[in-house]
Structure 1
Amino acid sequence: MSTPIVPPFTAETATEKVRIAQDLWNTRDPERVALAYTVDSRWRNRDEFLSGRDEIVRFLTRKWQRERDYRLVKQLWAWTDDRIAVRFEYESRDADGQWWRSHGNELWQFAPDGLMAVRDASINDYRIEPSERRL
């Protein structure tokens, strides 16, 4: 499977790639999201290291079971021919109803077919009150 936006990126195509990723993650569909990554994609997400689509699906399934009402916004930070850096923010609530805001940065590297081969994510979380929600 390939994607219509392939390296090398321009400002316009990198921005569109980020928007597509944001929209895809907001579906909270692990199987669908995993298709945007190479079959052997490598991830670091916080302190977890993943390899391949099967691990990505398992990780995202756990994530969205724990992070309820998840809503994500991504913004392009920088890009090169086959890499994109983004900043992101998302909000979710846990099983006890506590709302959380999470901020972070991701570094992405793409294969020639436009699928993401490497994703490196640094994320910080903090509690928020329902009245503090922005997303």
Structure 2
Amino acid sequence: MEIAERPPLPPFTAETAAQKVRLAEDGWNSRDPAKVTLAYTPDSKWRNRAEFLQGREQIEQFLTRKWAKELDYRLIKELWAHDANRIAVRYAYEYHDDSGNWFRAYGNENWEFDGDGLMAHRHASINESPIASADRKFHWPLGRRPEDHPGLSHFGF
């Protein structure tokens, strides 16, 4: 069943933009490509590193590949700026590959929403570096980040 609206809806306030960011973080931490894809318009356009995607089918395929390789994925997003129907976020995520090598990725995303609160455009810039397992910062059980877990600013990311 397709969802017609994804509150909070634009125009965004600081409060509703922060809510939208947390909902996106929660969705991505579910690592459920079919669920995450429903937050985007059917013809949503993405730029993710060197990949350009359009539509939910391509987005779902991308996320399926991503989370098959990025194991024990944990993400934190933080609101950077917003206006009527756009939100800018910064984020970091940690994961390991199938050889047990850990990585932390840092990025910025610019989002544009339609009137129903679905993301129509996502432009992501991401940098990644290997980290030692001992340097990991994101230790909550897989799934939603607990309310009392520090955010990005706490870590200086």
Q: TM-score range by the shorter chain?
A: over 0.9
C-alpha distance in 2, partners of 1:123/1:4?
Answer: 27
* TM-score (structure 1 length as normaliser): 0.99
CA RMSD of aligned residues (A): 0.4
1:75 corresponds to: 78
Q: CA deviation at 1:4?
A: 2.0
The match for 2:63 among 60, 67, 73 is: 60
| Gap runs ≥5 in structure 1 | none
How many residue pairs were aligned? 135
2:14 corresponds to: 11
The match for 2:39 among 36, 41, 59 is: 36
C-alpha distance in 2, partners of 1:61/1:2?
Answer: 24
1:120 corresponds to: 123
* TM-score (structure 2 length as normaliser): 0.85
C-alpha distance in 1, partners of 2:72/2:38?
Answer: 22
Deviation >2 Å, runs of 4+: none
Deviations 1:78-105 (A, max 9, x none): 0000000000000000111100000000
Deviations 1:46-85 (A, max 9, x none): 0000000000000000000010000000000000000000
From the two aligned structures, give the one with the greater strand fraction: 1
1:94 corresponds to: 97
Aligned residue identity for 1:128: I
| Gap runs ≥5 in structure 2 | 139-157
SS in 2 for 1:122: strand
SS in 2 for 1:18: helix
